Amino acid sequence: MRLLVCGGAGFIGSTFVRQRLREHGDEVVVLDKLTYAGREENLQDLAGEQGFRFMRGAIEDPAAVAEAIAAAGPAQAIVNFAAETHVDRSIADPDAFVATHALGTYVLLEAARAGGLRYVQVSTDEVYGSIEQGTFTEDSPLAPSSPYSATKAGADLLVLSYHHTYELAATICRGSNNYGPYQYPEKLIPLMVLNALHGDSLPVYGDGMQVRNWIHATDFARAIGHVLEHGAVGEVYNAGGPDEEANIEVVRRIIELTGAAQSQIEHVKDRPGHDRRYSLSSEKVRALGWEPRVRFADGLAETVAWYAENGWWWEPIRSGEYREYYAQQYGRALQD
C-alpha cells in the first residue's frame, strides 16, 4: 500500500512506519512538523531505505498535505498520528492542541475526501474519561477530562461525521497507554527511567494509585495496521494492553530494574483533573485477529535496557528544551 503517515517522526508513528516498510512492504511518506516531540532521529535507521521518504510540514497546512499525498505516488491511505500528546502541556498551554487536533484533522479529512483516500485516525482511551471499575467499549460515551483528550475527542467526532456525511472511508483506532523505545521523556515511564539512572527524584503525582492500561508501542502499531487492512469503515476499534498497573507500582518496578533507591520517590502535587483509571476492552479488534504480544513485565525490562544503552537518543533531549520544561513543571532542575 502507498501510505501517507502524518506524525510519523513521533514515538508510535515511527514504530508504525518501521513495521509497515519492513514487515508489509508498504511505501511510506512521512509528513511531520517536527515539534519538540518529533525527531528525525526516530527514523534515522530508515533513511535511504527503499519506499521511504520524509517531508517536514504541518497537517494544518493544506499545501503541505497535498504535496505529501502527491509525493506518495499518490497515497492510497492517510494514517494520522500527528498530535500534541502530553496532558500536562495541554493543561499549561492548550493552544497547539486545538490547532493540531481540530484544524489539522479537518485539513487531512478534506484532502482524503478530495482524493477518495482511505483514512485512519489514531486516537486514545482518554476520550472516554476515567473509569473506576470495569472497562470501556467502543460504545461507551465520550467524557474527556483534559484539553488534550477533549480536542482528541473533537477530532474523532469530526472523522465520524466525514464518514456519515460524505461516506469517507474512515476508521478510528483508540489505544491505551503506550510505552517502549523512542518515547519522549516527559511521559511517566521514560521520565522515571532517566531520572532513576541519573539519581534525580522520581516525581509521583498525588498518591500514585492512578491505574493505566499499558500496551507496548509495537502492539499498538500492529493494531493500527490491522485496522487499516481489516477494519470496517465508519467504525471505532479500541486496542488496550494486556496489563493494568498503578503508577506507584510501575515506579517500583523501574527502581528494581535500574538499581535506583526507594528514597528517590517523591510524592508531588497532583495533576489538575487527573483521571484515576483507564481500561479498554479490545474484543472488537481481537475479533479481527489482532492480539497484544508483549506482557508489561517483559516489555518494561526491555524498555529500561533500551534507554540505558541508547544515550545518543536522549542526551540531546535532556540537555535542550526539556530541561526548561522540567524545571517549570516540577519546580526543580534535573541533575547534569
Question: Residue numbers of the site for ligand NAD (CB under 6 A)?
Answer: 6-7, 9-13, 32-35, 37-38, 58-60, 81-85, 100, 104, 122, 124, 152, 175, 177-178, 184
**Among residues 9 and 168, whose Cβ is nearest to ligand NAD?**
9
Residue 59 contact, options ligand NAD, ligand DAU, none, Cβ 5-8 Å cut-off depending on partner type:
ligand NAD
Which of 32, 60, 128, 148 is catalytic? The answer is 148
Tell me how far apart the alpha carbons of residues 185 and 177 are, in angstroms, rounded to a whole number: 14
- Report the alpha-carbon distance of residue 216 to residue 174 in Å, rounded: 14
Which residue do the cell numbers 487531512 mark?
108
| Catalytic residue flag (residue 106) | no
Q: Rule CB under 6 A: is residue 204 a binding residue for ligand DAU?
A: yes
By beta carbon distance, the residue nearest ligand DAU is 124
- For ligand NAD, the closer CB: 7 or 292: 7
Report the distance separating Cα 329 and Cα 167, nearest Å. 44
Please state the length of the chain.
Answer: 336
The catalytically annotated residue of 125, 156, 186, 244 is: 125
Helix (H, G, I), strand (E, B) or coil at 136: strand
Report the partner that residue 191 touches, choosing among ligand DAU, ligand NAD, none (CB closer than 5 to 8 A by kind): ligand DAU
CB atoms within 10 A of CB 32: 28
Stretch in the footprint of ligand DAU (CB under 6 A) among 118-126, 156-164, 255-263, 292-300: 118-126
> By CB under 6 A, is residue 89 in contact with ligand DAU?
no
Residue 238 in the binding site for ligand DAU (CB under 6 A): no
Give strand pairing partners of 30.
5, 54
Nearest to 269 by CA among 221, 224, 203: 203
Instruction: Mark 115-136 as b/e (b = at least 16 C-beta within 10 Å).
Output: bebbbbbbbbbbbbbbbeeebb
Angle ∠(75,76,81) on CA atoms, nearest 5: 75
Active site residue 36: no
Check binding of 112 to ligand DAU (CB under 6 A): no
Q: Is 212 in the site for ligand DAU (CB under 6 A)?
A: yes
With CB under 6 A as the contact rule, which of the stretches 68-76, 103-111, 203-211, 312-320 interacts with ligand DAU? 203-211
> Could you give the CA distance from residue 188 to residue 25 in angstroms, rounded to a whole number?
33
Instruction: Compare residues 65 and 204 and give the one whose CB is closer to ligand DAU.
Output: 204
Q: Is residue 179 among the annotated active site residues? A: no
* Cα 79 from Cα 13, distance rounded (Å): 9
Residue with smaller CB distance to ligand DAU, 64 or 268: 268
Which residues are 124's β-sheet partners?
175
**Partner that binds at residue 151, options ligand DAU, ligand NAD, none, CB closer than 5 to 8 Å by kind:** none
Q: Quick one: 86 or 118, whose CB is closer to ligand DAU?
A: 86
* Nearest-angstrom CA–CA distance, 184 and 296: 19
The 3-state secondary structure of 107-133 reads: HHHHHHHHHCCEEEEEEEHHHHCCCCC
Cα Rg, the chain, nearest whole Å: 19
Cβ closest to ligand DAU, residue 204 vs residue 224: 204
176 belongs to the binding site for ligand DAU (CB under 6 A): yes
Give the residues lining the site for ligand DAU (CB under 6 A): 85-87, 124-126, 176-177, 187-188, 191, 203-205, 210, 212, 247, 271, 278
| Catalytic residue IDs | 125-126, 148
